[in-house]
Amino acid sequence: MGNWLVNHWFSVLILVVWIGLNVFLFVQTFLKYEKSDEYYYTREILGTALAVARASARCLNFNSMLILVPVCRNLLSFLRGTCSFCNRTLRKPLDQNLTFHKLVAYAICIFTAIHIIAHLFNFERYHTSQQAKDGSLASVLSGLSHHEKYGGSWLNPFQSPNMTVLYVTFTSIAGLTGVIGTVALILMVTSAMEFIRRHYFELFWFTHHLFIVYFLCLALHGFGRIVRGQTKDSMKESHPHKCAQSFEKWDHHDSHCRPPQFEGNPPESWKWIVAPVILYIFERILRLLRSQQRVMITKVVMHPSKVLELQMTKQGFSMEVGQYIFVKCPSISLLEWHPFTLTSAPEEDFFSIHVRAAGDWTENLIRAFEQHHSPVPRIQVDGPFGTVSEDVFQYEVAVLVGAGIGVTPFASILKSIWYKFQRADHNLKIQKAGHAALNFDKATDILTGLKQKTYFGRPKWENEFSTIATAHPKSVVGVFLCGPQTLAKNLRKCCHRYSSLDPRKVQFYFNKENF
């Protein structure tokens, strides 16, 4: 736990600041609408639901502003590059961009739910007080219509008794954009569930572009100016504190109080989202431009188990270990970009990916290259992005565990270690690297060509860990995993069990990287 905190304190700080800002914005807006005088009469009809709806709306604006930023991967790469002098821990949050994106998405869903429920109460109350004939303040306020002799200002959007809640919802800008935007949000969320993302990636990718609908609806949502408060002039003349009690006498000539005048709040959502939207548009243009750069395929290798290796070069491409690229093949699909971990080492003069058949696009890609068409299908590349797995090099002993295609990031690392070792790189702390590749096919490692011990069947982790602990009684051992969650649980348990209580003796540190 302590080790985790030391590595992740900056991410934790960002998280705390984000939560703090959400709480602050919610409370501040809530108090404004609950306490301030210009909404006195509005509260008379709506009660506390007004403040709840407005507070959640402000948090929605804030989070909608944030959500586009973590997916501007070129911007993040640029930041990572510019801050290369920064401590590795300060750059770590950049690698957790997708986690942050999901967190903000969950916040948007929660605030949307609060906002909708609050507005359901608001509309119901507006409707009820429009129908009420009891002469209460609420019903008098609802009666203020467009045809008021004192200038035409209204509070209640329900103008006539036979307007239903459904009618007003679908004939007001706020209602219509609200419903459409929420449906877009729900569709985005259901197609982004982990199960769908893992097995039907294209469905997720295409459906997620509904965010354009969501942002449009969000921007337009406030243009109807349906949230109304008393105007400043009206408050100077007839302040609610002195006039609210005498509401029956507003129409009388000799009354000091005039009926209050209202105006709608100007739309503010667009102000929050205009900058990230422009940033994101730049990001997409940049991806397009980078993808137009020529990629030369230098070697194509067909491995067993339907794994395709592509070795490529591109001008100006430079990578670090453990990074990934996005690949597009226009002859298969004009729109789809798919991520692949780089399996080559930075020391090599090409970069490579290993592609496993895992769905439509990958199967089509493998088939296209299998058929030896000449010329070979054109490939477009964006990247590299992602975590630089420098942590591996910090440990004297590193255990890299990869399951299936999960060996790919470690291939890059191992090859790099090998090159560094061959070239006697003095920065290399690693003395020994053990590679457990859980593939059942061949005795030789298909990815790296490195010699390795061949074991039959699934490793017994207890045996492995105790062997390593006995062989390196005083070392710090880093265990890295790219594989399924069940394996992660297993390995984490083993790390705890085999770490010695004495901090000078063998310590196992578990790292699960999101590749």
Partner 1 sequence: MGQIEWAMWANEQALASGLILVAGGIVATVGRFAQWYFGAYSIAAGALVCLLEYPRGRRRKGSTMERCGQKYVAAAVKLFGPLTRNYYVRAVLHLLLSVPAGFLLATILGTVCLAIASVIYLLAAIRGEQWLPIESKPKERPQAEDIKPPPSNPPPRPPAEARKKPNEDEVAAGGNPQVNPIPVTDEVV
Residues numbered 401 to 430 that lie near partner 1 (CB under 8 A) are 419, 422
CA–CA distance, 56 with 118 (Å, rounded to integer): 9
Kind and range of the H or E run holding 383: strand 380-385
Residue written as token pair 């390795």: 452
Does position 209 interact with partner 1 (CB under 8 A)? The reply is: no
Of the ranges 143-151, 266-274, 376-384, 454-462, which one interacts with partner 1 (CB under 8 A)?
Answer: 454-462
Applying CB under 8 A, which of residues 151, 161, 330, 449 lies at the interface with partner 1? 449
The least CB distance from residue 457 to partner 1, in Å, is 4
- For residue 63, give both structure tokens: 């989070």
Considering only residues 286-305, where is the footprint of partner 1 by CB under 8 A? 301, 303
Among 9, 150, 282, 455, binds partner 1 (CB under 8 A): 455
CB nearer partner 1, residue 15 or residue 192: 192
d(CA 143, CA 154) in angstroms, rounded, equals 8
- Using CB under 8 A as the binding rule, whether residue 368 contacts partner 1 is answered as no
Q: Using the rule CB under 8 A, is 396 a contact of partner 1?
A: no
C-beta of residue 29 within 8 angstroms of C-beta of residue 54: yes
Calpha distance 297→342 (Å, rounded): 14
199 class by beta-carbon count within 10 Å (0-12 exposed, 13-18 middle, 19+ buried): exposed
Nearest distance in Å: CB 347, partner 1: 9
CB of 101 to partner 1, least distance (A): 19
Query: Is residue 225 within 8 Å of 264, Cβ to Cβ?
Result: yes
DSSP of 187-207: HHHHHTSHHHHHH-HHHHHHH
Minimum distance, C-beta of residue 478 to partner 1, in the bound complex (Å): 25
Binding mask 234-273 for partner 1 (x = CB under 8 A): ----------------------------------------
309 and 353 Cβ atoms separated by less than 8 Å: yes
Query: What's the CA gap between 231 and 501, in Å, rounded?
Result: 69
Among 209, 252, 378, 458, binds partner 1 (CB under 8 A): 458
Nearest to residue 238, comparing CAs of 295, 153, 168, 165? 153
Q: Residue 171: helix, strand or coil by DSSP?
A: helix
Which strand (E) or helix (H) includes residue 278? helix 269-292
User: Does 202 engage in binding with partner 1 (CB under 8 A)?
Assistant: yes
Residue type, 67: I
- Identity of residue 241: H
Sites for partner 1 among residues 84-143 (CB under 8 A):
113, 116-117, 120-121, 123-124, 127-128
216 is a contact residue toward partner 1 (CB under 8 A): no
Q: At its nearest, how many Å lie between partner 1 and the CB of residue 190?
A: 4
Please identify, using beta-carbon distances, which residue of 94 and 174 lies nearer to partner 1.
174
Q: x/- site string to partner 1, residues 154 to 193, per CB under 8 A?
A: -----------xx--x---------x--xx--xx-xxx-x
Residue that the structure tokens 């609908």 belong to: 213
How far CA 300 is from CA of 407, 413, 416, in Å, comes to 19, 21, 21
- Which stretches of 347-460 are DSSP H helices? 360-370, 408-422
In the bound complex, what is the minimum distance in angstroms from residue 377's beta carbon to partner 1? 18
CA distances to 53, 70, 201, 333 from 336, rounded to whole Å, are 38, 20, 10, 6
Residue 451 found at the interface with partner 1 (CB under 8 A)? yes
203 binds partner 1 (CB under 8 A): yes
Number of residues that bind partner 1 (CB under 8 A): 46
- Which residue in 2, 316, 457, 503 binds partner 1 (CB under 8 A)? 457
Least CB distance from residue 385 to partner 1, whole Å? 26
Q: Which residue's CB is nearer to partner 1, number 99 or number 191? A: 191
Q: What's the rounded Cα separation, in Å, for the pair 31 and 25?
A: 10
CB of 351 vs partner 1, minimal distance in Å:
14
Least Å distance between CB 456 and partner 1? 5
Binding residues for partner 1, rule: CB under 8 A, are: 113, 116-117, 120-121, 123-124, 127-128, 165-166, 169, 179, 182-183, 186-187, 189-191, 193, 195-196, 199-200, 202-203, 301, 303, 309, 348, 359-360, 363, 419, 422, 444, 446, 448-449, 451, 455-458, 460
